[in-house]
Amino acid sequence: MVDDVAALVAGLGVAPVRLGLILGSGLGGLADAVRGQSFDYGDLPGFPAVGVSGHGGRLVIGELDGVRVAVLNGRAHYYESGRADVMRRPLELLAGLGAETLIVTNAAGSLRSDCGPGSVMMIADHLGLLGRNPLIAEPSEDRFVPMTAAYDAGLRAGLRRSAEAEGVDLPEGVYAWVSGPSFETPAEIRALRALGADAVGMSTVPEVILARFLGLRVAALSVITNMGAGMSDEAISHAHTKAMAPQGAAILGRVLRRFLRDLA
């Protein structure tokens, strides 16, 4: 596997990167601002097919606000294949390209009345309740990854400063991972709230576990596109998610680009 990734890195013929980004549903606009090279997932050996509208399926490598980045524009989800490790090869590539930091974004449902659609929440911790871990069957002893500080405190502090500089409120909360593709029932939302979740979605947790396994520092942000089932009268659908994502994406983009300028 390591040799395969090394060969893939060599084949891309690009300079090392400093930071990796994963862009979730409806959040791919930031990739268009990167000055560099773009590669379709289908042309990269071992990369997953992306079968969800709103996910671009492109790797973009180049400069963004003075920082050399590698952007995964779109992700494959557990519900598409039943594989929790479906994003392992893309993350191995980011690490192989030299990235030491990963910022993950997603679209999520809110479980907090004070954090509504169009807002952005920074993830401070997560609940992975499925019993599906991307490191199942990993043979090395490195599979026993500590997750006490999965979401890096220094990165979160930097993102908070960037948000403050942009006049953006950036609450922190706990993200709950559910399998999808069906949305949650009102009873499930009540249970998740009782367990301490502040947002819910169908991604991110496996990627964070894999990133920590690979030694990357991680921060994650959710664009809130809807309230959890039973918390409002809105009709929840993927079309609604895609329609609402650009509102929060504009805010998220400002915060991320200020963070990169401060990092440069």
Which among 260, 217, 251, 13 is positioned nearest to 102, based on CA atoms? Answer: 217
In CATH, what number is assigned to the domain containing residue 129? 3.40.50.1580
Provide the domain limits for residue 84: 2-263
Alpha-carbon distance of 102 to 100, in angstroms, equals 7
As a whole number, mean pLDDT of residues 139-165 equals 97
- 12-27 pLDDT tens trace: 878 899 999 999 866 7
Alpha-carbon distance of 76 to 50, in angstroms, equals 5
Total domains, the chain: 1
pLDDT above 70: residue 55: no
State the Cα torsion 148-100-162-22 to the nearest 10°.
-90
As a whole number, mean pLDDT of residues 138-149 equals 96
More confident residue, 139 or 236: 139
More confident residue, 135 or 243: 135
